[in-house]
Structure 1
Amino acid sequence: MKENTISEPVDFTTSDLKLKGFKVYEAGNDCHAIPTYNRRDFYKICINTGQNIIQYADRGIETDGTILFFGNPHIPYSWEITSESYHGFACVFTEEFLKVNDRSESLHECPLFKISGTPIFYLSAEQKTFITSLFQKMIVEQDTDYVFKDDLIRNYINLIIHESMKMQPSENFFKHKNASARITSLFLELLERQFPIETKDQPLVLKNPQDYAQNLAVHVNHLNRSVKEITGKSTTAHITERIISEAKALLQHTDWSIADIGYSLGFEYPSYFNNYFKRLTGTVPKSLRM
């Protein structure tokens, strides 16, 4: 049995897109590798035929057949392909690409992208043919010179969303078997929801295990024990690794000053951020600037 783990894309910015805030691509054994993205700024819709194990927040599902999946940048997930053969299409897009004006409904309110929603749907042969045709149309359209192609592609995405909302979601989720696994999943989800940092004016709010424990309504000792039991790493280690990862992304992909980056990550003074970064990476933040 072949096992492939799909991680979230790396070194991907909006400037890489053929349309601002949007990209569609084909994936499979005979296609180019699935692009990976460093920052989770993007919503994702994909259709896939094969066998997979998808871990989504505190739930998981084993699939066999053709599924339609909706990925939310605020909810961590992993995807493992377990079949020898697989094929599909996917598109990634920002909320700004889909929202044409301030009155448009936020994707956060869409049932397909809500934290409590069900993001996986099994497709019939007829549904597979129809949804696949929409992805194929988007692939063709993103390379044309048609002046209104962004509007047309938005219509295709919205059509997929509305067709999916009429379907019955998959109910084959399996739940974590113990309280430690569940609280750990909720912690990791809450941690991921703090990122990416979008503005340098609002510092990171949740910075230590106590902050997360309060938000999850559990005692910090219970949180620490659960996270260590399930992941083998401490709560502090997870938080630290995520802050450092975000610091590197901001240093490499923004023109913010180092002081602003430190402030956005919860460091009141630049010297605190410099010392923290150097202690954990062995180098100073300035070294990541080109």
Structure 2
Amino acid sequence: MSGIESIEEFYHHKFNRAPNGVAQESDHFNVFDLAEVLKPGIPRPYQRRDFYKIMLIRGDNIFHYADKSIAANGAALTFFTPDVPYKCEQRGITTGSFCIFKEGFFSDHIRSSLKDLPVFAPGANAIFLLNEQQERLVVDIFQKMQQEIVTDYPFKYNLIRSYVTELIHQAMKMQPMEQLYQHTDANTRITAVFRDLLERQFPIASNEQQLKLRSAMDYAERLNIHVNHLNRAVRTTTGKTTTKLISERLLSEARALLAHTNWNVAEIGYCLGFEEAGNFNHFFKKNTGITPGNYRQQIS
């Protein structure tokens, strides 16, 4: 897995220049046609970026993000965050538009974090297939952003923020309403904080990085609650044990690292908190039925 791509590196890779002052680094925003940046025959690495990206893409494409690979044939609206590594594998002619922005572009204008929005939440659906009507609407929003960003209007970024927000709401409307309902009971709040703490440890970006929180007890101590309290809250809310959710997330990251890095199995196990390679092999085989080495052979 490659390192984290910064805004500066993005402009260097795509345009061989630094950002041109479209906005300051902390609140950077820009919008592009895909045709401006696509370099046929040059694959993009599977990696994290230090900025958010919303993209309208048309064609026959496969998106690899986290431990998932999703085919999108036609028009799709995609949302990617700095927390999740990803790449797009193009199979033929690809067209569309996309915008990139840093957290600061929104942080002073919304009450909560961008990660509280369903499309950017940990584990959220990142890809939305569009019908013709939805595609026309999204195309219109991107055209408005591209037209506005070159104007001298002093409040243009406020207007552009409203266009980005409209894209987010269009995607949220495509999700079943039960996924958008926010429970407010104590068990759900504890589970949400636990999940947030769990996701903060990922993705693993270096083979020298190692997870610090591995057990339910580790998370309970960090949250300053009794482990039994944490376990009851998580089971009540999700139907799963705390240990099961931790194991599922470890397994997801293990699959991603086996698929997208050349680190050996022992290194991956160490990063995931297994001091002994044999313990990691046992954990992986117990949950998948095959060893990490066999899994890597199968996907390659």
Q: TM-score range by the shorter chain?
A: 0.5 to 0.7
TM-aligned CA deviation for residue 168 of structure 1: 3.5
SS at match of 2:203: helix
Quote the residue 1:46 is aligned against. 55
The unaligned stretches of length 5 or more in structure 1 are 1-6, 170-186, 196-205, 241-290
2-side partners of 1:98 and 1:228: how far apart?
31
The 2-side partners of 1:189 and 1:212 are apart by 10
Give the counterpart letter for 1:63 in structure 2.
Answer: A
CA distance in 1, matches of 2:102, 2:142: 17
User: Cα 1:211–1:90, aligned 2, differ >3 Å: closer, same or farther?
Assistant: same
Partner letter of residue 192 of structure 1?
P
Is 1:56 equivalent to 2:58 in the alignment?
Answer: no
Contact 2:66 2:256 in 1 (8 A): no
Aligned residue number for residue 163 of structure 2: 156
Match of 1:105 among 103, 112, 125: 112
Contact 1:74-1:193 within 8 A present in 2 as well: no
Q: Which residue of 1 aligns with 2:30?
A: 23
Residue 96 of structure 1 pairs with residue 104 of structure 2: yes
Tell me, yes or no, if the aligned pair for 1:50 and 1:85 is still in contact at 8 Å. yes
In the alignment, the residues of structure 2 paired with residue 100 and residue 229 of structure 1 have an alpha-carbon distance, to the nearest angstrom, of 39
Letter in 1 for 2:263: K
RMSD: 4.2
The alignment covers a number of residue pairs equal to 201
TM score, norm. by length of structure 2: 0.55
Q: Name 2:38's counterpart in structure 1.
A: 33
Shift of 1:16: 3.7
* Residue from 188, 195, 203 that aligns with 1:192: 203
TM-score by length of 1: 0.57
SS of aligned partner of 2:82: coil
Query: Counterparts of 2:256 and 2:137 in 1: how far apart (Å)?
Result: 43
Q: Deviations over 1:182-239 (max 9, x none)?
A: xxxxx999453779xxxxxxxxxx9544647668956xxx99x978865542368679
Distance 1:227 1:100 in 2: 34
| Separation of aligned partners in 2, 1:188 and 1:233 | 22
> What residue ranges of structure 2 are gaps of 5+ in the alignment?
12-17, 177-197, 219-244, 271-300
